[in-house]
Chain A
Amino acid sequence: GAVVSQHPSWVICKSGTSVKIECRSLDFQATTMFWYRQFPKQSLMLMATSNEGSKATYEQGVEKDKFLINHASLTLSTLTVTSAHPEDSSFYICSARVRPTDYEQYFGPGTRLTVT
Chain B
Amino acid sequence: AQTVTQSQPEMSVQEAETVTLSCTYDTSESNYYLFWYKQPPSRQMILVIRQEAYKQQNATENRFSVNFQKAAKSFSLKISDSQLGDTAMYFCAFSYGSGNTGKLIFGQGTTLQVKP
Contacts and interface: CB of A to CB of B under 8 A. Distances in A.
Chain B contact-residue range equals 20 to 34
A93 B35 contact: no
Contact of A46 (B47, B89, B104, B108): B104
In the complex, which of the residues B97, B98, B108 has the most CB atoms of chain A within 10 Å of its own CB atom? B98
B111 interface: yes
A103 B91 contact: no
Contact of B106 (A43, A51, A100, A104): A43
In the complex, which of the residues B47, B91, B104 has the most CB atoms of chain A within 10 Å of its own CB atom? B104
A43 B91 contact: yes
Contacts of A44: 45, 91, 104, 106
B116 interface: no
A97 interface: yes
A38 B44 CA distance: 12
Interface residues of A, number: 26
Contacts of A107: 37, 44-46
Nearest to B102: A103
A110 B43 contact: yes
B42 A100 contact: no
B33 A104 contact: yes
A32 interface: yes
Contacts of A110: 43-45
22 contacts: A34-B104, A38-B43, A41-B89, A41-B109, A42-B109, A43-B107, A44-B45, A46-B103, A97-B98, A97-B99, A100-B98, A100-B100, A101-B99, A102-B98, A103-B32, A103-B98, A104-B95, A105-B104, A109-B43, A109-B44, A110-B43, A110-B44
